[in-house]
């Protein structure tokens, strides 16, 4: 059976969209990962809320390597992730979805690779196309079919968090070409690519970023904005799961070919 994972960000914690849900626990070299598995449309789906089921893990303490390793170990071939983001681009408004296609990495204290020398060696991953183009185009097509407002491209700025940004930082990110800002997509996207898993993120704009928004930012407004759009995100992800074709080949599945492929 084809395996797909949903990595849910802020506001996406509910695995009840799946059938036959069970708890899974997978040991990895980086620690144990607990998540739910279920079925949808004849496919096996893992559901992993990135911040824990009650939002108890802050962005800088998420065990990104364990999460992606566990997904690889259970045979996941495609990951659809969600992220709540602030917007630096006036055309990307609160409530809009953005199918990000590039990132700017402003994290400070996270390991972004499975390859740290020693026995595993060193790998220099190509990230010209960090997000899977086939999963992205499927999501874009479904959003347009369902009448969901979605921007087909966007550059995600990843900050270390957990604080929000200063207006000066947001001005800088905008000058550098960023469209949205969040705290989790790096290193998740990078590790998924190293693991040769097709990975795409649906970002949901919950607020205009600091200095663009007239008020101070609160986590509460992020959660409320996500809740207001939760039906759309569910519909989008479930239709994508229905339509994902099993066993299609993709360049993402060969991202480490130069190094003999990814090995668990």
Closest to ligand HPA by CB, 96 or 196:
96
Closest to ligand HPA by CB, 72 or 151:
151
Residues 6+ apart with CB under 8 A from 80: 4, 5, 6, 7, 135, 139, 200, 201, 202, 237, 240, 241
Per DSSP, the three-state class of 229 is: coil
Tell whether residue 183 is a contact of ligand HPA (CB under 6 A).
yes
Q: For residues 196 and 253, is the Cβ–Cβ distance under 8 A?
A: yes
Q: What is the DSSP letter of 99?
A: -
Residues 6+ apart with CB under 8 A from 225: 11, 84, 94, 95, 204, 205, 206, 207
Residue nearest to ligand HPA (CB): 86
Site string for ligand HPA, 106-145 (x = CB under 6 A): ----------------------------------------
Q: What is the DSSP letter of 67?
A: H
Tell whether residue 62 is a contact of ligand HPA (CB under 6 A).
no
Q: What is the DSSP letter of 149?
A: -
Tell whether residue 197 is a contact of ligand HPA (CB under 6 A).
no
CB atoms within 10 A of CB 253: 17
Closest to ligand HPA by CB, 101 or 165:
165
Site string for ligand HPA, 218-257 (x = CB under 6 A): ----x-----------------------------------
Question: Of 181, 190, 244, 252, which one interacts with ligand HPA (CB under 6 A)?
Answer: 181
Q: What residues are designated binding site? A: 10, 50-51, 83-84, 183-184, 207-209
Contact footprint for ligand HPA (CB under 6 A): 84-86, 164-165, 181-183, 206-207, 209, 217, 222
């Amino acid at each position: 059976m084809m395996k797909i994972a949903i990595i849910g960000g802020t506001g996406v914690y509910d695995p009840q969209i799946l059938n036959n849900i069970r708890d899974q626990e997978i040991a990895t070299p980086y620690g144990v990962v607990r998540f739910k598995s279920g079925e949808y449309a004849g496919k096996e789906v893992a559901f992993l809320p990135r911040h824990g089921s009650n939002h108890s893990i802050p962005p800088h303490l998420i065990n990104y390597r364990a999460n992606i390793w566990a997904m690889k170990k259970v045979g996941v071939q495609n990951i659809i992730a969600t992220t709540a983001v602030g917007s630096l681009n006036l055309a990307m408004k609160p409530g809009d979805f953005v199918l990000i296609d590039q990132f700017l990495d402003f994290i400070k204290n996270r390991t972004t690779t499975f390859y740290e020398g020693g026995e595993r060696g060193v790998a220099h991953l190509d990230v010209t196309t960090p997000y899977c183009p086939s999963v992205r185009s499927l999501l874009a097509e479904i959003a347009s079919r369902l009448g969901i407002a979605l921007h087909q491209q966007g550059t995600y700025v990843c900050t270390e968090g957990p604080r929000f940004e200063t207006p000066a930082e947001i001005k800088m990110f905008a000058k550098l070409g960023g469209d949205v800002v969040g705290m989790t997509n790096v290193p998740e996207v990078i590790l998924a690519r190293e693991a040769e898993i097709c990975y795409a993120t649906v970002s949901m704009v919950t607020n205009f970023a600091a200095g663009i928004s007239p008020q101070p930012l609160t986590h509460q407004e992020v959660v409320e904005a996500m809740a207001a759009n939760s039906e759309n995100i569910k519909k989008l992800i479930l239709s994508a799961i229905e339509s994902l074709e099993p066993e299609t080949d993709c360049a993402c599945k060969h991202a480490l070919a130069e190094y003999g492929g990814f090995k668990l």
